[in-house]
Each structure stands twice: as structure tokens, then as C-alpha cells.
């Protein structure tokens, strides 16, 4: 009888402790991940790409802002942001100020759904059902965010494709608007890659296979995405339980092969303010050092 009472109490205590850790510790345990990606021509010197995604910034999140400011110390050659910068209107000045030390470093960006619309409370179990009805919040002043990034010298790749210079090298960069909102215009992915560029990068907020496949078939070397939060709540030994998109759970975060391309999915730096927890999935930015094949 004592065991029958003690066991549920122990489980309840463990659950409370787990939620406390996920909400109070891990979601603020920011980390910089480092990867080497062999995509450059033989003999080429390394090129450092800083990938930031899913910041979900609120004005009061000072620890997150301090972490972002320190990223400039890494001296990247190119900054890539793949959307969901905001969790409310006050996130715009906060995220721009936090990234301002990177002003003057070449940068490219696409937006995500939480740049266009504020988050709203949701039932988290909906994510286990791919056809669940999406809940869209109030519109955000996203053009202010775009103007701020462009003032820093960064290029908006929303359904666009350009040649850029980074680290003294020519880089082809392309991007689409958020597939999660069905705003992607995939014709931008279909032309073969530019022969004059040393490396070819594609940006997509949500790693939906319909977008990734088109860029991979055109010969892009590295596909950069966010959106998944790495699963946000991961089970040790199992990994992500959901991805909230069409990518498989095994590729919910980190670097992997995607056909002939490399795919990097950032677990991101933030959460929705209505689900401020992370477990076995620390908030992250990534420094991708592109090296010779």
C-alpha cells in the first residue's frame, strides 16, 4: 500500500522537476554549435557562415540578447537568418539591437510565420496530427524588421536569388518565403546553379521536402532551415517526437545529407511565449565552417 501511494507521488515530483528544468534552466542555456561542411572546391580556404534562426524575441529577454551580441566575436564571413525572429512587436528593436554588432558583415535572410503573425496559445498535442488547423495570431509589423536588416546591409532573399560576396568569394544565395504558410514561390529554385560561384546556399524557413527537393535537384550545396525547434522537447535515445513539417524526425536538427546536398536545420534560440520550455534540446545558433571537399 505504501508503494502504491509513493510511486505516483515520485512520478509527480519528477514531472514537476522536469518542467521546472525545461522552463527555468534549459530554455536559457544558449549554445553555439560548430560544424565543418565539405562543400567548397578542392584547395579553397574555409568560409565561416553563422546561422541564426527562430529567435522568437521579446523585449524582456535580455539573456538571449546578450548571447546574440557575443556571436559577432566569432568573426563570420556571412550571416544567415532563417526566420521567426519575433514573438511580439517589441521584439523588433530588441532583435535588431542584439544583432547590430554584426552590422557590416555580409548577411542574407528569409522570414518565417512568426515574423508575419504573433503567436497564439495552442494545444501542443495538435502537432502530432499533420493536418491540424493552423492558428494564426495578430499581424506583426514585419516590414520594420526587413527594413532594419537591410539597413544593416543584409539581403532579403524572399523568393529571390542573388550572387553575393563573402570572405572575398562569390557565393550564390537563394531563398523562398515560408512554406509553412504556403508563401513559397519555388520557381526561384529551378534554374541550375551559377557556374561562377564558389558555393551555392539555399534558405528555407520550414524544411518542407517540396522546397528542399527543388533546390537539391538544381545543384545547391547547402540548404539552411529552422522552424522545427529541434523538436523542442526531445526524449533521450529517441530524439524529436514531432517536427511540425514534412521533414523526418531524424533530421529535426543538425547537419545531415539531403540527396547530393547538405542540410542544416537549426533548433533555434527561442520558443513561443505560450510554451516556454525546452528539454534535451538547448537553444542554439550554429557556426558552419565551409571547407574543401
Domains, the chain, in order of start with CATH, read 2-292 (3.60.21.10)
The answer to whether residue 9 scores a pLDDT higher than 60 is no
Give the pLDDT score at 216.
98
Cβ(277)–Cβ(233) below 8 Å? yes
Nearest to 54 by CA among 179, 206, 226: 226
Give the pLDDT score at 14.
44
Rounded Cα–Cα distance for residues 187 and 131 (Å): 25
- pTM of the entire structure? 0.92
The mean predicted confidence, pLDDT, of the chain is: 92
Percentage of residues in the chain with pLDDT exceeding 70? Answer: 90
Q: CA 90 → CA 10, 64, 85, 140, distances in Å?
A: 41, 14, 11, 10
> What digits encode the pLDDT tens for the residues 226-243?
999 999 999 999 999 999
Cβ(188)–Cβ(160) below 8 Å? yes
Rounded Cα–Cα distance for residues 143 and 189 (Å): 24
> What digits encode the pLDDT tens for the residues 120-137?
887 665 665 666 666 778
Give the pLDDT score at 13.
45
The answer to whether residue 82 scores a pLDDT higher than 60 is yes
Residue 163, C-alpha cell as written in the block: 550572387
Which of the two residues, 18 and 216, has the higher pLDDT score?
A: 216
Give the pLDDT score at 11.
38
Handedness of CA 194, 199, 205, 210 (dihedral sign): positive
Average pLDDT over residues 141-158: 98
Q: How many CB atoms lie within 10 A of CB 107?
A: 24
Nearest to 169 by CA among 203, 202, 148, 194: 194
Percentage of residues in the chain with pLDDT exceeding 90? Answer: 85
Rounded Cα–Cα distance for residues 238 and 93 (Å): 38
Give the pLDDT score at 214.
98
Cβ(201)–Cβ(222) below 8 Å? yes
254: which strand partners?
Answer: 265
Amino acid at each position: 500500500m505504501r508503494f502504491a501511494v509513493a510511486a505516483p507521488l515520485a512520478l509527480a515530483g519528477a514531472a514537476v522537476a522536469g518542467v521546472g528544468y525545461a522552463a527555468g534552466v534549459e530554455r536559457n542555456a544558449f549554445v553555439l554549435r560548430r560544424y565543418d561542411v565539405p562543400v567548397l572546391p578542392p584547395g579553397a580556404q574555409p568560409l565561416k557562415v553563422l546561422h541564426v534562426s527562430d529567435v522568437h524575441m521579446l523585449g524582456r529577454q535580455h539573456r538571449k540578447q546578450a548571447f546574440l551580441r557575443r556571436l559577432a566575436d566569432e568573426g563570420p564571413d556571412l550571416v544567415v537568418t532563417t526566420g521567426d525572429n519575433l514573438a511580439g512587436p517589441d521584439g523588433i528593436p530588441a532583435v535588431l539591437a542584439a544583432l547590430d554588432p554584426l552590422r557590416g558583415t555580409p548577411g542574407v535572410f528569409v522570414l518565417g510565420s512568426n515574423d508575419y503573425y504573433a503567436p497564439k496559445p495552442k494545444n501542443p498535442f495538435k502537432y502530432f496530427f499533420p493536418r491540424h488547423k493552423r492558428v494564426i495570431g495578430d499581424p506583426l509589423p514585419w516590414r520594420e524588421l526587413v527594413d532594419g536588416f537591410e539597413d544593416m546591409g543584409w539581403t532579403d532573399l524572399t523568393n529571390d536569388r542573388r550572387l553575393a560576396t563573402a570572405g572575398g568569394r562569390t557565393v550564390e544565395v537563394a531563398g523562398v518565403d515560408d512554406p509553412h504558410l504556403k508563401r513559397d514561390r519555388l520557381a526561384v529554385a529551378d534554374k541550375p546553379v551559377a557556374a561562377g560561384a564558389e558555393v551555392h546556399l539555399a534558405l528555407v524557413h520550414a524544411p518542407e521536402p517540396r522546397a528542399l527537393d527543388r533546390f537539391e535537384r538544381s545543384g545547391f550545396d547547402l540548404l539552411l532551415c529552422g522552424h522545427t525547434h529541434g523538436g523542442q522537447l526531445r526524449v533521450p535515445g529517441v530524439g524529436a517526437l514531432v517536427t511540425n513539417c514534412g521533414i523526418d524526425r531524424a533530421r529535426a536538427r543538425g547537419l545531415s545529407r539531403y540527396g547530393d546536398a547538405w542540410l542544416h536545420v537549426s533548433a533555434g534560440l527561442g520558443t513561443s511565449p505560450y510554451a516556454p520550455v525546452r528539454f534535451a534540446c538547448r537553444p542554439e545558433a550554429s557556426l558552419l565552417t565551409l571547407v574543401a571537399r
